[in-house]
Amino acid sequence: MLTVNNRTIDELISYAETRKLQSESKHETECIEGIIYILAKAKQQDETECFETRKNPIITKEVSI
């Protein structure tokens, strides 16, 4: 499972969603939406690679952001 500064991607997405609701400008909202998109893509990639690794346990890959 991916983590950033000891926080899971799900925690980071949840935090970003909360910040998006609190944003005071359109620019800030758009930036946060971009971050959420990147985090969601990283989570999707991690889940795909974890599935591939389970199918073939010899293959291992460390992912970092």
> What angle is formed at CA 38 by the lines to CA 1 and CA 14, rounded to 5 degrees?
65
Mean pLDDT by 10 residues, the chain (65 residues): 78 93 93 92 80 53 54
Q: Rounded to 5 degrees, what are φ and ψ at 34?
A: -65, -40
The gap between the terminal CA atoms of the chain, to the nearest Å, is 12
In the chain, at which residue ranges do the beta strands (DSSP E only) sit? 3-4, 7-8
Q: Determine the pLDDT at residue 20.
A: 94
Instruction: Specify the pTM.
Output: 0.67
Q: Report CA torsion sign: 24, 25, 28, 32.
A: positive
| For the chain, domain boundaries | 3-55
